Amino acid sequence: MPTVTTADGVEIFYKDWGSGRPIMFHHGWPLSSDDWDAQLMFFLQEGYRVVAHDRRGHGRSTQTSDGHDMDHYAADAAAVVEHLDLRDVIHVGHSTGGGEVARYVARHGGDRVAMAVLIGAVPPLMLKTDANPAGTPIEVFDGFRDGTANRRSPFFLDVASGPFYGYNRPGAEPSQGVILNWWRQGMMGGAAAHYDGIAAFSETDFTEDLRAITVPTLVMHGDDDQVVPIAASAEITITLLPHGTLKIYPGYPHGMATTHADVINADLLEFIRATG
Protein backbone atom coordinates (compact mmCIF):
# COMPACT_ATOMS: atom_id res chain seq x y z
CA MET A 1 0.00 0.00 0.00
CA PRO A 2 1.24 3.53 -0.71
CA THR A 3 2.18 5.27 2.52
CA VAL A 4 4.29 8.15 3.76
CA THR A 5 5.96 8.09 7.18
CA THR A 6 5.53 11.20 9.31
CA ALA A 7 8.20 12.81 11.50
CA ASP A 8 6.88 10.90 14.51
CA GLY A 9 6.91 7.54 12.73
CA VAL A 10 3.26 7.18 11.73
CA GLU A 11 2.48 5.59 8.35
CA ILE A 12 -0.22 7.52 6.50
CA PHE A 13 -2.01 5.60 3.74
CA TYR A 14 -2.97 7.58 0.64
CA LYS A 15 -4.56 7.17 -2.78
CA ASP A 16 -3.05 8.99 -5.74
CA TRP A 17 -4.94 8.45 -8.98
CA GLY A 18 -4.75 10.08 -12.40
CA SER A 19 -2.91 13.11 -13.66
CA GLY A 20 -3.62 16.76 -14.22
CA ARG A 21 -4.37 19.38 -11.61
CA PRO A 22 -4.43 17.83 -8.11
CA ILE A 23 -7.44 17.80 -5.81
CA MET A 24 -6.80 16.52 -2.29
CA PHE A 25 -9.70 15.24 -0.22
CA HIS A 26 -9.77 15.18 3.61
CA HIS A 27 -12.33 12.85 5.21
CA GLY A 28 -14.52 13.20 8.28
CA TRP A 29 -14.69 11.36 11.61
CA PRO A 30 -14.43 8.35 12.00
CA LEU A 31 -14.12 7.45 8.33
CA SER A 32 -11.39 7.02 5.72
CA SER A 33 -10.46 8.10 2.22
CA ASP A 34 -13.05 5.60 0.97
CA ASP A 35 -15.76 8.07 1.96
CA TRP A 36 -14.74 10.13 -1.08
CA ASP A 37 -15.36 7.37 -3.66
CA ALA A 38 -18.05 9.32 -5.51
CA GLN A 39 -15.84 12.41 -5.72
CA LEU A 40 -12.63 10.55 -6.56
CA MET A 41 -14.23 8.76 -9.49
CA PHE A 42 -16.05 11.85 -10.76
CA PHE A 43 -12.99 14.09 -10.80
CA LEU A 44 -10.72 11.33 -12.08
CA GLN A 45 -13.04 11.04 -15.09
CA GLU A 46 -12.96 14.83 -15.47
CA GLY A 47 -9.18 14.68 -15.95
CA TYR A 48 -7.96 15.67 -12.49
CA ARG A 49 -5.36 14.02 -10.28
CA VAL A 50 -7.17 12.94 -7.12
CA VAL A 51 -5.45 12.35 -3.79
CA ALA A 52 -6.99 11.22 -0.51
CA HIS A 53 -5.43 9.90 2.67
CA ASP A 54 -6.55 8.04 5.77
CA ARG A 55 -6.06 10.19 8.87
CA ARG A 56 -3.73 8.75 11.52
CA GLY A 57 -5.57 6.08 13.49
CA HIS A 58 -8.22 5.80 10.75
CA GLY A 59 -8.63 3.41 7.85
CA ARG A 60 -5.34 1.85 6.76
CA SER A 61 -3.03 4.32 8.50
CA THR A 62 -1.13 3.40 11.66
CA GLN A 63 -3.32 2.95 14.73
CA THR A 64 -1.01 5.05 16.85
CA SER A 65 -1.98 6.05 20.38
CA ASP A 66 -0.61 9.56 19.97
CA GLY A 67 -1.18 12.74 18.03
CA HIS A 68 -4.94 12.73 17.57
CA ASP A 69 -5.29 16.49 17.40
CA MET A 70 -5.63 19.07 14.65
CA ASP A 71 -1.99 20.11 14.68
CA HIS A 72 -0.89 16.54 13.93
CA TYR A 73 -3.71 16.03 11.42
CA ALA A 74 -2.59 19.09 9.48
CA ALA A 75 1.07 18.09 9.68
CA ASP A 76 0.21 14.61 8.39
CA ALA A 77 -1.63 16.15 5.44
CA ALA A 78 1.44 18.29 4.79
CA ALA A 79 3.60 15.16 4.79
CA VAL A 80 1.44 13.65 2.03
CA VAL A 81 1.55 16.86 -0.01
CA GLU A 82 5.31 17.14 0.29
CA HIS A 83 5.89 13.44 -0.39
CA LEU A 84 3.91 13.71 -3.64
CA ASP A 85 5.25 17.22 -4.35
CA LEU A 86 1.73 18.50 -5.00
CA ARG A 87 1.36 22.08 -6.18
CA ASP A 88 -1.53 24.31 -7.23
CA VAL A 89 -3.74 22.05 -5.09
CA ILE A 90 -7.45 22.28 -4.42
CA HIS A 91 -8.10 21.04 -0.87
CA VAL A 92 -11.57 19.67 -0.11
CA GLY A 93 -12.53 18.75 3.45
CA HIS A 94 -15.70 17.31 4.94
CA SER A 95 -16.65 17.71 8.61
CA THR A 96 -13.49 17.03 10.66
CA GLY A 97 -11.63 17.08 7.37
CA GLY A 98 -12.81 20.64 6.89
CA GLY A 99 -11.07 21.57 10.11
CA GLU A 100 -7.99 19.75 8.90
CA VAL A 101 -8.07 21.74 5.66
CA ALA A 102 -8.42 25.04 7.53
CA ARG A 103 -5.46 24.33 9.76
CA TYR A 104 -3.34 22.86 6.94
CA VAL A 105 -3.94 25.79 4.57
CA ALA A 106 -3.35 28.37 7.31
CA ARG A 107 -0.19 26.82 8.72
CA HIS A 108 1.40 24.64 6.04
CA GLY A 109 -0.11 25.45 2.67
CA GLY A 110 2.01 28.35 1.51
CA ASP A 111 2.18 28.71 -2.25
CA ARG A 112 1.17 25.08 -2.84
CA VAL A 113 -2.54 25.82 -2.29
CA ALA A 114 -4.82 27.20 -5.01
CA MET A 115 -8.21 27.06 -3.30
CA ALA A 116 -10.12 25.34 -0.52
CA VAL A 117 -13.56 23.83 -0.08
CA LEU A 118 -15.25 23.19 3.27
CA ILE A 119 -18.22 20.79 3.19
CA GLY A 120 -20.34 20.44 6.33
CA ALA A 121 -17.17 21.50 8.11
CA VAL A 122 -16.60 21.89 11.86
CA PRO A 123 -14.96 25.37 11.90
CA PRO A 124 -14.92 27.77 13.52
CA LEU A 125 -15.81 25.95 16.78
CA MET A 126 -18.38 23.24 17.45
CA LEU A 127 -18.44 23.34 21.25
CA LYS A 128 -20.91 25.60 23.05
CA THR A 129 -19.11 28.13 25.23
CA ASP A 130 -19.94 31.53 26.69
CA ALA A 131 -18.33 33.08 23.63
CA ASN A 132 -19.97 30.56 21.28
CA PRO A 133 -23.56 30.20 22.52
CA ALA A 134 -24.80 28.65 19.26
CA GLY A 135 -22.44 25.71 19.67
CA THR A 136 -23.25 22.14 20.65
CA PRO A 137 -23.30 21.34 24.40
CA ILE A 138 -20.42 19.26 25.79
CA GLU A 139 -22.91 16.58 26.86
CA VAL A 140 -23.48 15.66 23.20
CA PHE A 141 -19.78 15.03 22.68
CA ASP A 142 -19.58 13.14 25.96
CA GLY A 143 -22.27 10.88 24.52
CA PHE A 144 -20.12 10.35 21.44
CA ARG A 145 -17.19 9.46 23.69
CA ASP A 146 -19.28 6.99 25.67
CA GLY A 147 -20.60 5.34 22.52
CA THR A 148 -17.14 5.14 20.95
CA ALA A 149 -15.44 3.73 24.04
CA ASN A 150 -18.11 1.30 25.23
CA ARG A 151 -20.27 0.18 22.29
CA ARG A 152 -18.53 1.37 19.17
CA SER A 153 -20.04 -1.04 16.63
CA PRO A 154 -23.75 -0.46 17.44
CA PHE A 155 -23.11 3.23 18.09
CA PHE A 156 -21.57 3.66 14.66
CA LEU A 157 -24.57 1.94 13.10
CA ASP A 158 -26.87 4.30 15.00
CA VAL A 159 -25.02 7.39 13.74
CA ALA A 160 -25.00 6.23 10.13
CA SER A 161 -28.62 5.12 10.13
CA GLY A 162 -29.78 8.29 11.84
CA PRO A 163 -28.50 11.88 11.85
CA PHE A 164 -25.42 11.59 9.64
CA TYR A 165 -27.37 11.07 6.42
CA GLY A 166 -30.71 12.41 7.65
CA TYR A 167 -32.20 8.94 7.58
CA ASN A 168 -34.09 9.74 10.79
CA ARG A 169 -36.19 12.37 8.99
CA PRO A 170 -39.81 11.63 7.99
CA GLY A 171 -40.00 10.26 4.48
CA ALA A 172 -36.30 9.44 4.27
CA GLU A 173 -35.32 6.29 2.38
CA PRO A 174 -32.27 4.82 4.13
CA SER A 175 -29.69 3.01 2.01
CA GLN A 176 -28.33 -0.06 3.77
CA GLY A 177 -25.31 0.05 1.50
CA VAL A 178 -24.46 3.59 2.57
CA ILE A 179 -25.05 2.79 6.25
CA LEU A 180 -22.90 -0.34 6.18
CA ASN A 181 -20.15 1.40 4.25
CA TRP A 182 -19.99 4.11 6.94
CA TRP A 183 -19.86 1.41 9.62
CA ARG A 184 -17.18 -0.52 7.69
CA GLN A 185 -14.95 2.51 7.40
CA GLY A 186 -15.37 3.41 11.04
CA MET A 187 -14.60 -0.06 12.30
CA MET A 188 -11.40 -0.16 10.24
CA GLY A 189 -9.92 2.55 12.45
CA GLY A 190 -8.78 2.48 16.05
CA ALA A 191 -11.13 3.18 18.95
CA ALA A 192 -8.48 5.25 20.73
CA ALA A 193 -7.99 7.49 17.69
CA HIS A 194 -11.74 7.92 17.32
CA TYR A 195 -12.16 8.71 21.01
CA ASP A 196 -9.45 11.37 21.04
CA GLY A 197 -10.64 12.69 17.70
CA ILE A 198 -13.92 13.79 19.26
CA ALA A 199 -12.13 16.47 21.26
CA ALA A 200 -10.11 17.39 18.17
CA PHE A 201 -13.15 18.09 16.02
CA SER A 202 -15.38 19.57 18.72
CA GLU A 203 -13.05 21.66 20.89
CA THR A 204 -10.55 23.10 18.39
CA ASP A 205 -11.04 26.78 17.66
CA PHE A 206 -10.30 27.53 13.99
CA THR A 207 -11.11 31.23 14.09
CA GLU A 208 -7.57 32.43 13.42
CA ASP A 209 -6.99 29.70 10.83
CA LEU A 210 -9.98 30.90 8.84
CA ARG A 211 -8.81 34.51 9.00
CA ALA A 212 -5.40 33.43 7.71
CA ILE A 213 -6.72 31.64 4.60
CA THR A 214 -6.09 33.95 1.65
CA VAL A 215 -7.08 31.62 -1.20
CA PRO A 216 -10.63 31.46 -2.60
CA THR A 217 -12.70 29.20 -0.36
CA LEU A 218 -16.09 27.63 -1.02
CA VAL A 219 -18.21 26.80 2.02
CA MET A 220 -20.92 24.20 1.30
CA HIS A 221 -23.43 23.27 4.00
CA GLY A 222 -26.82 21.62 4.26
CA ASP A 223 -29.32 23.55 6.35
CA ASP A 224 -30.60 20.27 7.83
CA ASP A 225 -27.15 19.20 9.02
CA GLN A 226 -27.85 17.53 12.39
CA VAL A 227 -24.19 16.79 13.13
CA VAL A 228 -22.61 20.19 12.44
CA PRO A 229 -25.48 22.70 12.70
CA ILE A 230 -25.12 25.44 10.13
CA ALA A 231 -25.75 28.38 12.49
CA ALA A 232 -22.62 27.62 14.52
CA SER A 233 -20.44 26.68 11.58
CA ALA A 234 -20.83 27.82 7.97
CA GLU A 235 -22.79 30.96 8.81
CA ILE A 236 -19.96 32.13 11.07
CA THR A 237 -17.14 30.74 8.96
CA ILE A 238 -18.14 32.84 5.98
CA THR A 239 -17.75 36.03 8.04
CA LEU A 240 -14.16 35.09 8.92
CA LEU A 241 -12.82 34.08 5.51
CA PRO A 242 -11.16 36.87 3.50
CA HIS A 243 -12.27 35.31 0.19
CA GLY A 244 -15.16 33.01 0.99
CA THR A 245 -18.30 31.98 -0.88
CA LEU A 246 -21.20 30.32 0.97
CA LYS A 247 -23.54 27.89 -0.74
CA ILE A 248 -26.43 26.55 1.36
CA TYR A 249 -28.34 23.39 0.42
CA PRO A 250 -31.94 23.37 1.68
CA GLY A 251 -32.84 20.13 3.41
CA TYR A 252 -29.47 18.46 2.83
CA PRO A 253 -27.89 16.38 5.63
CA HIS A 254 -24.36 16.23 7.00
CA GLY A 255 -23.35 13.43 4.63
CA MET A 256 -24.59 15.26 1.55
CA ALA A 257 -21.46 14.51 -0.47
CA THR A 258 -22.71 10.91 -0.48
CA THR A 259 -26.49 11.32 -0.52
CA HIS A 260 -26.41 14.12 -3.10
CA ALA A 261 -23.10 13.41 -4.81
CA ASP A 262 -24.35 14.47 -8.23
CA VAL A 263 -25.23 17.98 -7.01
CA ILE A 264 -22.15 18.42 -4.84
CA ASN A 265 -19.78 17.18 -7.55
CA ALA A 266 -21.27 19.48 -10.16
CA ASP A 267 -21.03 22.49 -7.86
CA LEU A 268 -17.45 21.64 -6.91
CA LEU A 269 -16.48 21.39 -10.56
CA GLU A 270 -18.18 24.70 -11.36
CA PHE A 271 -16.33 26.44 -8.51
CA ILE A 272 -12.96 25.02 -9.58
CA ARG A 273 -13.44 25.98 -13.20
CA ALA A 274 -14.79 29.44 -12.40
CA THR A 275 -12.06 30.22 -9.87
CA GLY A 276 -9.25 29.18 -12.20
Mean confidence (pLDDT) of the chain: 98
The verdict on whether 53 is a catalytic residue reads no
- The pLDDT score that the predictor gives to residue 229 is 98
Whole-number Å distance between alpha carbons of 209 and 99:
9
Contact 181, 30 (CB under 8 A): no
- What is the rounded average pLDDT of the residues 185-204? 98
Q: Name the catalytic one among 95, 161, 202, 233.
A: 95
- What is the rounded average pLDDT of the residues 13-36? 98
Query: In the structure, what pLDDT confidence band is assigned to residue 83 with cuts at 50, 70 and 90?
Result: very high
- What is the rounded average pLDDT of the residues 179-188? 98
- What is the rounded average pLDDT of the residues 96-113? 97
Contact 233, 220 (CB under 8 A): no
- The pLDDT score that the predictor gives to residue 127 is 98
Query: In the structure, what pLDDT confidence band is assigned to residue 1 with cuts at 50, 70 and 90?
Result: confident
Contacts of 248 (CB under 8 A, 6+ apart): 221, 222, 223, 230, 234
Q: Name the catalytic one among 68, 91, 254, 260.
A: 254
Contacts of 103 (CB under 8 A, 6+ apart): 70, 71, 73, 74, 204, 206, 209
Res. 86: pLDDT tops 90: yes
Within 10 angstroms of residue 238's Cβ, the number of other Cβ atoms is 18
Residue spans per domain, the chain:
3-275
Beta partners for residue 52, in sequence order: 15, 25
- The pLDDT score that the predictor gives to residue 57 is 98
Whole-number Å distance between alpha carbons of 101 and 112:
13
126-156 burial: b if 16+ Cβ within 10 Å, else e: bbbeeebeebbeeeebeebeebbeeebeebb
93-119 burial: b if 16+ Cβ within 10 Å, else e: bbbbbbbbbbbbbbbbbeebbbbbbbb
Please report, rounded to a whole number, the percentage of residues in the chain having pLDDT higher than 70.
Answer: 100
DSSP code for 127? B
What radius of gyration do the chain's Cα atoms show?
17
Contact 163, 226 (CB under 8 A): yes
Res. 240: pLDDT tops 90: yes
- What is the rounded average pLDDT of the residues 18-35? 98
Grouping H, G, I as helix, E, B as strand and the rest as coil, residue 82 is helix
The verdict on pTM exceeding 0.75 is yes
Contact 116, 213 (CB under 8 A): yes
Beta partners for residue 16, in sequence order: 51
Q: Name the catalytic one among 76, 196, 209, 225.
A: 225
Over residues 241-264, the pLDDT tens digits come to 999 999 999 999 999 999 999 999
The verdict on whether 225 is a catalytic residue reads yes
The verdict on whether 153 is a catalytic residue reads no
Over residues 212-230, the pLDDT tens digits come to 999 999 999 999 999 999 9
Over residues 162-177, the pLDDT tens digits come to 999 999 999 999 999 9
Query: In the structure, what pLDDT confidence band is assigned to residue 116 with cuts at 50, 70 and 90?
Result: very high
Class of domain 3-275: alpha beta
Res. 197: pLDDT tops 90: yes
